[in-house]
Amino acid sequence: MIKILIVEDEIPARKKLRRFLDQVKETVSVEAEIDTVHEAVSFLKKTNSIDLILSDIELLDGNAFDIYHEVKVSCPIIFTTAYDQFLMNAFESNGIEYLLKPFSFERFQKAWDKFLLLRNNNATDHALFLKLNQIIGNRLEKYKTRFSANTSQGIYFFETTDILFFEADEGVVFAIDKTGKKHLLNRSTLKELETQLDPLYFFRINRSELVNKKFIERIERYSKNSLALKIAGYEKHLVTSQSNTPLFREWIEK
């Protein structure tokens, strides 16, 4: 018996998750359906028998990450949300999958299969927790998590997760952070950056710009074969090239 906790404040979304759980082959038991941060914290402090949490992010009384900051859970979490800017937070909070609404049963099944793989390879909750953190840690260590820039005052550092996008201008590469500040990178090209950055979060939309999925607020039609991207904290739109638009459409839904 697989014990499930659903953390979701929308009734239709909870019903959808119930339907999807009814379609999996394994026997499951939904132990509770919770719609607030407060109630989730209270529930998780009283039980450690949950095998999997299906969690929305924006709840009635706040952000679901407040739950997992206050209560240390030893089970994996599949996040289900309409917002894509919380990807990094999800992987830092026992997240094993990030399902963007609306998602199909096929997409849910892939997330479920990943959970089963983790579960079947570990005999205890403690072992599962260690395996999960190993997977997350290996992924984060594989890619560059911070950059440095030289100034007349010395070298300073900034985090990859704070970068809106990278921009190449006449052979020089800049990183634009969430405050709008431009950082001149040393001896870097966009081609090199593509190999250093996690492709789950970063995508080269044209010859001169490499964007962070976390900060894409809205996508608009620019031309027949190009899209305009509204980036959080940045006034101008970024435009995909015609050749990269089809690949971008696939990437943004992952």
**Secondary structure, 3-state, 17-68:** HHHHHHHCCCCEEEEEEECCHHHHHHHHHHCCCCCEEEECCEECCEECHHHH
Contact (Cβ atoms closer than 8 angstroms) between residue 8 and residue 54: yes
Decide which of 253 and 181 is more confident.
181
Kindly state the tokens that stand for 15. 């019903």
- HSE at residue 67, side-chain half, CA atoms within 13 A, is 32
Number of Cβ atoms within 10 Å of the Cβ of 49: 10
Cα 74–Cα 124–Cα 98 angle in degrees, nearest 5: 45
Is residue 29 over pLDDT 60?
A: yes
Decide which of 223 and 121 is more confident.
223
Condensed to tens digits (0 to 9), the pLDDT of residues 165-213 reads: 999 988 899 999 988 899 988 777 898 898 889 888 899 999 999 999 9
Contact (Cβ atoms closer than 8 angstroms) between residue 3 and residue 50: yes
Distance CA 49, CA 157 (A): 42
How distant, in Å, are the alpha carbons of 23, 56, 98, 129 from that of 115? Answer: 15, 17, 12, 12
Distance CA 238, CA 236 (A): 7
Residue 247 DSSP label: H
**Shortest CA distance to 111 belongs to which of 97, 90, 101, 100?**
97
For the entire predicted model, the pTM comes to: 0.52
Proportion of the chain in helix, strand, coil states, percent, rounded to 5: 35, 35, 30
Q: Band of the pLDDT at 224, cuts 50, 70, 90?
A: confident
